[in-house]
Amino acid sequence: MRARPARRALVAALESLESLESLVSLVSLVSLVSLVAVAGCGVRPTGVVRAGDPPSGAVQPAVTTILYLVRGDRIAAVERPGGALSPSAALALLAAGVTAEEEARGLTTDVPSGAGPFSVTADPPGHLEVALSTPVGELSALAVEQIVCTAADATRRDSTEVTLVGAGRRLGPRTCAEADLAPDDPPEKPPSS
């Protein structure tokens, strides 16, 4: 009858051995993962590396949008920061009015806020047709010049012709060269802060 307890002890020892093997496998796996984590990606630390002189050369100027605003009885080119805009987006800025800084510098707009939204099509090349939400006949001469010059400038092409359309009436084609611009003024830049 002693064989049974010995047999039970042997079975228990074998089961413990299987658990021990599992434990050894788990410990080996954890050790391997830890070793890989500690080793990192193989990049060794270095000191300061001299790379030469700093970059030099021409700095790319900031891209701005040119709007034509009213100063006195003429229009003047004024830069607005923020990047180049499509003609319709630039015209929407005209209809939105001047900024506080522009107003402080004596600039206004004659483009009524109800003139937009604007629809601008380019056909044929070199010619823009600007559809307004207000009748063309209700625009002042300065408002017409503002719209023509701002739309033409937004195309970044010289001698763009612009025709205004609103309430079944057409005006144009006109070019910015026909406008009464403030004499020899480069585009006004907003004051630096």
**pLDDT single digits (tens) 160-176:** 899 999 999 999 899 98
d(CA 3, CA 9): 10
The pLDDT mean for the chain works out to 79
Lowest mean pLDDT among 96-100, 117-121, 124-128: 124-128
- 140 versus 190: the higher-pLDDT residue is 140
Is 97 exposed, middle or buried, given 0-12, 13-18 or 19+ CB atoms closer than 10 A?
A: middle
d(CA 180, CA 122): 24
**pLDDT single digits (tens) 178-189:** 777 766 455 556
d(CA 21, CA 13): 12
Determine how β-strand 161-166 pairs with β-strand 127-131. Answer: parallel
Where are the chain's structural domains?
64-175
Q: In terms of pTM, does the model score above 0.85? A: no
Q: CA-based angle 115:116:122, to the nearest 5?
A: 110
Lowest mean pLDDT among 70-74, 86-90, 109-113, 181-185: 181-185
Asked if residue 76 lies in contact with residue 93, where contact means CB atoms within 8 angstroms, the answer is no
With 80 as the cut, is the pLDDT of residue 146 above it? yes
pLDDT of residue 50: 72
